[in-house]
Structure 1
Amino acid sequence: MSPDDPRRALAHRLRSLREGHWPSVRITQHQLAEAFGGRTPLSVSLISSWENSAKPTVPPVGRLEAYATFFATMRSVETTPYRLLAYSQLTNEERASRDALRAELLLLREQAAAGPVVAPTGHESPAAGFWHFGDDNIVTIVCAQLPESLLRGFSYADPASPDYVALYTYADLDALIELYGHIRAVNPTNQVHFKTAQELTPDDYTSHLVLLGGVDWNFVTRDLLDRVELPVKQVARSDEQDIGGFEVQSDDGTTLFAPQLDRGKLVGDVGHFYRGRNPFNAKRTVTICNGMYGRGTLGVVRALTDARFRDRNDAFLVRQFNNAPAFSILTRVEVVMGQALTPDWTLPDTRLHEWLEDSA
């Protein structure tokens, strides 16, 4: 293996953190495995594989986030056994250190993942990344309810029918199923709920909000977008023949990014991913995943859940928008044989527009 191999660089960095980050503290691989695993310690061989510069294994994003959190504060090693603090327990200064180290490690991982990767041993959880909301929080996924005109005559969506299934009344159901399972997997200590916009309670609005679907049917998405200063506006469709689009305001005027149809068939949608502060609770976030059509919404969701793309897309977001209080991406979502393809945000042609709020 070349000495310049990015996998070796990542392995060397992880070893240097353990052995030299705090020269006065000795940290063994066993102690680190114990801290990372909590009640179920990781194997020492797993830590060793990540530090092995001769034949390194690339850790998943979630484990690199654990490194960043652990080495952000000496409180991790104040008592034995050493411990991994929750993100919510860190001070503002510790969070800044953690975020900087996280960005560094994820960039190294992105470079390492570009080459051959040795599969990790043991069971690993999905990458956390932007779908991790800290411990002991409430996350509410909000879908639109399908319009009454689309439900009329469909017995499975009729509460009076013996065959009634509530989920048949939800819009963007494929995106909901994809995202709900992923958020549950990377937030095991959190309450994760999904509801239609009509079902929200006042307490739901002040939780971490994840909004699926656009302004045509999801009035919560429409309301939240009206409350943030964003140069991106979704143009609602006036009827089924109207394809709408996303307008971007700039000094040069207004640019419209619209879906592509070929003889009435959707071949390319436009999706929008936004993350910012929840305007109803400054300590919580709002995330919007929407498209002009359902396949655009699904594509945006899969950008950060699809196991083949989520790590590189997460690393791109960290590198491009790290520490920004709010940001958004307009993305192409290609549709092939009726199926939405996961966008790769590391490809410039996939990104139609990027925006970030100045943190100053």
Structure 2
Amino acid sequence: MVLTESSVAGWLTTAFPDISSNLIAAAIGGALVWAVTRVVRRVKLFRARRFWRAMGSRQPFIVLGAPDAEALRRWEKTGMVGKGDILALVEVESQLRRLGFTGRIIEAKELPPHDLMSDLVLIGGPDGNTVTKTMLKALGDRISYGFGEARPDQATPLRDNRAGEEFSPAPDPDTGDPVEDYGLIVRSANPLAPGSAEIVILAGCWGYGTAAAAEMLDESKLLRRWPRSGKFEAVVKTSVVQGVYCKTEVQDVRAIS
């Protein structure tokens, strides 16, 4: 008797009937996992594209803030940018590039006044980014979240003007380093050119919150909650472990009329 591949397979199936049923079940299970994973990725991509489509097609300015303190300028004459802002920049650029868009990176103090009416992605809070400060002031009471008074050697707290509450990063009692941070996300019409441009603000109390806010723009737990109008404000909270942010959660999402 000559053994062939088909005869061996037939013999195995007859001798071990559970083998065929297990193989079929495994194949079906694998196909289902592949299909569900593909659908989830496509839905996530669709939501991300819907978020960035209008701005991305117009090549927005990505505006970084930079402190002008003389003490810092002694170390680097071209200026310095916080690590959290750089991480946020990398995240925003990555999201835009994946969708086929590009942005123009510029420092806040170098943005010409007429470009304040362009599409803008603002990285950093009002203390470090003057354009963020300008836009938050121009938005006024159209948004309910903002930043409280600056405090020496402390992060400026995030403030819920509607409820009168403040959110301030909790420090480690031993080292004084942050163990959590808050970030604000605002997506709105540009208040200086509401009919032709939009803005996205990514601002944390510390840089951890800024970076976490940027990362959330690519997360379903935020994208599935943003309103149909596309204009919203959101607060995220992130844990900080050994100088690294993690476990970011969406605290609140509110539509902007």
TM interval, short-chain normalised: 0.7 to 0.9
Q: Distance in 1 between matches of 2:125 and 2:109?
A: 15
Structure 1 residues 265 and 323, CA gap change in structure 2 (3 angstroms): same
Query: Equivalent of 1:354, from 236, 239, 253?
Result: 253
Give the drift of 1:53: 8.1
Give the drift of 1:64: 6.7
Q: Which residue of 1 aligns with 2:67?
A: 146
Query: Equivalent of 1:262, from 168, 172, 184?
Result: 172
**Structure 1 stretches lacking a partner, 5+ long:** 1-51, 66-105, 107-126, 160-167, 346-350
Structure 1 residues 131 and 280, CA gap change in structure 2 (3 angstroms): same
Q: Distance in 2 between matches of 1:238 and 1:302?
A: 27
Give the drift of 1:283: 2.3
Q: Deviations over 1:154-179 (max 9, x none)?
A: 1xx225xxxxxxxx623422221222
Q: Which residue of 2 aligns with 1:239?
A: 152
Q: Distance in 1 between matches of 2:74 and 2:201?
A: 31
SS of the equivalent of 2:93 reads: helix
Q: Distance in 2 between matches of 1:170 and 1:203?
A: 24
**Structure 2 stretches lacking a partner, 5+ long:** 1-30
- 2:135 is the counterpart of 1:224: yes
Contact 2:181 2:206 in 1 (8 A): yes
Give the drift of 1:62: 6.7
Q: Deviations over 1:229-269 (max 9, x none)?
A: 222220242321x333122123xx51111111013010001
Q: Which residue of 2 aligns with 1:89?
A: none
Contact 1:304 1:313 in 2 (8 A): yes
Give the drift of 1:134: 5.7
Q: Which residue of 2 aligns with 1:56?
A: 35
Give the drift of 1:140: 0.6
Query: Equivalent of 2:191, from 276, 279, 284?
Result: 279
Pairing 1:331-350 to 2, within 5 Å after superposition: 331-345=236-250
Q: Which residue of 2 aligns with 1:314?
A: 223
Give the drift of 1:357: 2.5
> What residue identity is the alignment partner of 1:313?
L
> What residue identity is the alignment partner of 1:314?
L
Q: Distance in 1 between matches of 2:144 and 2:45?
A: 33
Pairing 1:1-360 to 2, within 5 Å after superposition: 56-57=35-36, 58-59=38-39, 60-61=41-42, 65=46, 127-133=48-54, 136-154=57-75, 157-159=76-78, 169-171=80-82, 172-188=85-101, 191-228=102-139, 229-240=142-153, 242-250=154-162, 254-263=164-173, 264-281=176-193, 282-305=195-218, 310-317=219-226, 321-323=227-229, 326-345=231-250, 351=251, 353-358=252-257
Give the drift of 1:335: 0.8
Q: Name the TM-score, length of structure 2 as normaliser.
A: 0.74
Contact 1:209 1:285 in 2 (8 A): yes
Structure 1 residues 355 and 62, CA gap change in structure 2 (3 angstroms): closer
> What residue identity is the alignment partner of 2:225?
F
Contact 2:64 2:129 in 1 (8 A): yes
Q: Distance in 1 between matches of 2:55 and 2:130?
A: 27
Q: How many residues align?
A: 218
Larger Rg: 2
Contact 1:133 1:187 in 2 (8 A): no
Q: Distance in 1 between matches of 2:239 and 2:67?
A: 24
Q: Distance in 2 between matches of 1:193 and 1:135?
A: 11
Q: Which residue of 2 aligns with 1:86?
A: none
Q: Distance in 1 between matches of 2:164 and 2:197?
A: 31
Contact 1:61 1:311 in 2 (8 A): no
> What residue identity is the alignment partner of 1:147?
D
Percent identical pairs in the alignment equals 22
Give the 4+ runs in structure 1 shifted more than 6 A.
52-55
Structure 1 residues 133 and 256, CA gap change in structure 2 (3 angstroms): same
Q: Deviations over 1:1-23 (max 9, x none)?
A: xxxxxxxxxxxxxxxxxxxxxxx
Q: Distance in 2 between matches of 1:63 and 1:339?
A: 25
Q: Distance in 2 between matches of 1:54 and 1:243?
A: 44
Q: Distance in 2 between matches of 1:354 and 1:54?
A: 31
Contact 2:168 2:182 in 1 (8 A): yes
